[in-house]
Structure 1
């Protein structure tokens, strides 16, 4: 059995040892090197050529974000960030995901987490998953200009869509950046998003996306009225639902147990959107591992709504979209760079236009 070779980078000798021990509990993983800072990490990267790097966010000399950017230039390699649950740590982590990191794991109790074993399974699973991604998609998601022709026309339906619901997991923050930056500020419908992410990080994600998108992007709050041109992201650790009062869409948060081991879960968001919008709903399933979103997408499509699945050529992990496609829950599969134009057609399309 060929083992996944891992380079562990952390400025704490204790954390380097602890993370290494946790990883090597899985016989499929082998820690081939440890680095105390970004400068040493880049040196070992060239010498050891690891399959995956675990990278501390906060380090002296060269922090995790700067190190990641250099890795993506010098020797693109799948990276799993290891972040402390601080505001600064969360903001850097979100920037790292946008810069090409595959995923991240939050240290349970700060920079020195004696209880790191609490997230041991998550860390091992994410490193194993990272070893199988297409690293070229993390560093360069954009398609050649020659491929960016407009999507084929869709058969017009009776009325334009009224709400767009999006599901994303691994690779999602970068995919959301491309999706939302392709939508106009005057989009005539609200957008609701379930991105698999723990508490403490979705506020930073919303802030980051708001800065680079023409849409106004916020973290969802209970009772928030969902307005055209606004995108609401489910808070980490909460499920987000949509209800309708008169003609208004309202955001609702739920503390129900995790579904598919995730919270927020896209299925719950999509099911609520299917209930309140029916044929006037659009569902989008982006990159991610697992099958979350498939049941909700099936509900949207069965009520006459339209479901888009990201196609494999642009997916960091073709798991969630593949599940929806194989279940017959998607109307259409498109590469990420074509989805914004399709959304604009769907929300403005009227019969006879």
Structure 2
């Protein structure tokens, strides 16, 4: 497999190239965006790593041209700054498969600290499905317009959420997740009857901006969880990056709390840890779990256990996944109640959530003490 490394810094090109060579890839390089487009046409690389801050043609412009003229997997490698975080999210919206942040700034001498991450993400990207950003945007606009025109039951935003009203939707995603989450969450009506807790593998420098982006496009309110937060129906809670989110009972109410990243789990925020905590706090039949695109198996074992105990679980189907890793792990464990493309998940989530809440109203569930 061949990788094209695009960076205006000779030091960065050499360091990234050496890392990818050790990872088993053939490497070619480019200094500018214009040079990158020419090298893609000539060398046909399987994957591209792309810096954001470059002269003449910045990384976002170059990415847009790549997606239009030579669509292929792109991994952004950018500085860990406020500006870099915003640009990273824009890159994902334009079609980038994944991103890695350079420790120490634009020209980083500490890139070796990220070697395993860079190799894993670039190798995963080689087999990734490229999502067309324009088509996704058109679907989002059409779906949101349809929702806005449709009547919905009135709801007091931020209604209290306590005993007798204890149901949660848990969603996990990794590589390719931001665009899919935006597609699914923006398609949910504002009367969705449960809190939604989201674990997207992403650093803390980006999750705040991602929550703000989701809040702008979703009909439900979206907030990043940084401290203990009481859960309220009709709200989406995004776990802060570089830590783990768990569900607990405090003062008769359900809360989400952030804990330091567990060394027992490879990915953070950990979907495995979130699901396990929820199953210790409420009954399994009060939980809905969703695994979306991403490499690895975070949350798969726990969601399989959840389904066996009476919960309802969704796995994104292979044909819409950017990387069919986490959902595959769930399917192979027999843990998926339904396997659906991303475009169908929101509608099914709404039906299942409302049905579960109606059943809970007839026979309110009590918190379980089972582990």
State how far apart, in whole Å, the 2-side matches of 1:299 and 1:252 are. 22
After TM superposition, give the deviation of residue 55 of structure 1 in Å: 0.3
State how far apart, in whole Å, the 2-side matches of 1:161 and 1:314 are. 31
The correspondence for 2:59, drawn from 47, 64, 81, is 64
Q: Does 1:18 align with 2:24?
A: no
Deviations 1:128-171 (A, max 9, x none): 11111122567756999xxx9xxxxxxxxxx9982110010111
After TM superposition, give the deviation of residue 62 of structure 1 in Å: 2.1
Deviations 1:291-314 (A, max 9, x none): 111122123223322111111111
Retained in 1: the 8 A contact 2:242–2:261?
Answer: no
Q: Does 1:341 align with 2:347?
A: yes
Retained in 1: the 8 A contact 2:67–2:132?
Answer: no
Q: Does 1:285 align with 2:265?
A: no
State how far apart, in whole Å, the 1-side matches of 2:90 and 2:252 are. 37
| Secondary structure in structure 2 of the residue aligned to 1:250 | strand
Q: Does 1:223 align with 2:228?
A: yes
What is aligned with 1:310?
A: 316
| Secondary structure in structure 2 of the residue aligned to 1:173 | helix
What is aligned with 1:271?
A: 276
State how far apart, in whole Å, the 2-side matches of 1:313 and 1:258 are. 33
State how far apart, in whole Å, the 2-side matches of 1:7 and 1:94 are. 21
TM-score scaled by length of structure 1: 0.89
Cα-Cα RMSD: 2.4
Q: 1:110 to 1:282 in 2, by over 3 A?
A: same
Retained in 2: the 8 A contact 1:180–1:340?
Answer: yes
Q: Which runs of 5 or more residues in structure 1 are unaligned?
A: 149-158
What is aligned with 1:8?
A: 5
Q: State how 1:36-115 maps to structure 2 within 5 Å.
A: 36-115=31-110
Q: Name the count of aligned residue pairs.
A: 336
State how far apart, in whole Å, the 1-side matches of 2:323 and 2:129 are. 8
Q: Does 1:322 align with 2:344?
A: no
Q: Does 1:30 align with 2:26?
A: yes
What is aligned with 1:153?
A: none
What is aligned with 2:369?
A: none
The correspondence for 2:114, drawn from 113, 119, 129, is 119
What is aligned with 2:146?
A: none
The correspondence for 1:186, drawn from 178, 182, 191, is 191
After TM superposition, give the deviation of residue 194 of structure 1 in Å: 0.8
| Secondary structure in structure 2 of the residue aligned to 1:73 | helix
Retained in 1: the 8 A contact 2:102–2:108?
Answer: yes
| Secondary structure in structure 1 of the residue aligned to 2:282 | helix
| Secondary structure in structure 2 of the residue aligned to 1:167 | strand
What is aligned with 2:158?
A: none
Deviations 1:226-285 (A, max 9, x none): 212211111111000011335532111111423441121101111112222321111000
After TM superposition, give the deviation of residue 14 of structure 1 in Å: 1.7
TM-score scaled by length of structure 2: 0.84
Compare 284-293 and 125-134 and name the one that shifted more: 125-134
